[in-house]
Homo-oligomer: A and B are copies of this chain.
């Protein structure tokens, strides 16, 4: 793990760089479409040098942490130049498209499709932090399509960074993540949009935000550059989850309009079960 390249120096790429540098003492080669980002990452000590994809002929690992609609194309370019023992992995939030796109690439065995479930609502090199991945789940898709030396190298990195591994088929991953993650983001963004449209007086939003609004719209601070491609790449699954969500809101609205307290109470009581499910998070980790 002497030389590790990171393409995309935002929250995830930058945080991976910091951890890998600390844990393995690696030299980090940074690549970013924005020279400003790359230089900021260099000045923050996140990376050790700035380079380009063509120069990645002699590195141990390449991490692709760019917006999901660019991952397939960039990964192909990377696989075309790397050596036989270079591990390439991505960290994108949508997995079916990338796995399909690389299926027949001669260097497919060098690639691992990963999705570490970690992040904050912040973005860019400034948002990079140490230990972002400690005790977090990392979902690996189609791991049987990587050769053993490559998956072993990936497991070693993920383990040393404190991640817990979970294995899924790409389609299965995209379906689950649409409901549990992507829908949460849409829900939060649209809540924020609704309140901004109605509340012309921003002081009111500020004053009343402690009433539950602040945590519920936390995700609406997320980067549109990151999330627009995630939503469109996972369109099919996100549309289904949105349909279910809108259906439930319309049903709630109808119960409220009728003043059906029993039904409203029942819907909330059943949903309270999430308490036990989410408490597991603190219990097990």
Contact = CB atoms under 8 A, between A and B. Distances in A.
B195 A191 contact: no
B216 A137 contact: no
Given A195-B183, A267-B193, A188 B206 contact: no
A239 B216 contact: no
B239 A253 contact: yes
Contacts of A212: 119, 181, 184-185, 188, 219
Nearest to A263: B228
Interface in A259-277: 259, 261, 264-265, 267-275, 277
Given A244-B197, A268-B224, A277-B206, A239 B257 contact: yes
Interface stretch (A11-19, A58-66, A172-180): A172-180
- The majority secondary structure among interface residues of chain A is helix
A238 interface: yes
Contacts of A281: 206, 209-210, 214
Nearest to A195: B179
Contact of A179 (B199, B242, B267): B199
A72 interface: no
A246 interface: yes
Interface in A238-261: 238-239, 241-246, 248-250, 252-253, 256-257, 259, 261
Contacts of A105: none
A268 to B, nearest CB: 4
Nearest to A187: B191
Contacts of A249: 186-187, 190, 242, 245-246, 249
B252 A192 contact: no
Contact of A271 (B181, B220, B239, B245): B220
A196 B218 CA distance: 21
Interface of A: 93, 117-119, 136-137, 139, 166, 176-177, 179-181, 183-199, 202, 204-222, 224-225, 227-229, 231-232, 235, 238-239, 241-246, 248-250, 252-253, 256-257, 259, 261, 264-265, 267-275, 277-278, 280-281
14 contacts: A180-B208, A184-B217, A187-B216, A189-B252, A192-B271, A195-B274, A196-B271, A197-B244, A205-B278, A220-B272, A228-B261, A228-B264, A231-B264, A238-B256
Given A137-B207, A192-B271, A206-B281, 12 more contacts: A136-B210, A180-B204, A180-B208, A180-B213, A187-B216, A188-B212, A190-B249, A198-B241, A205-B278, A221-B272, A224-B268, A235-B259
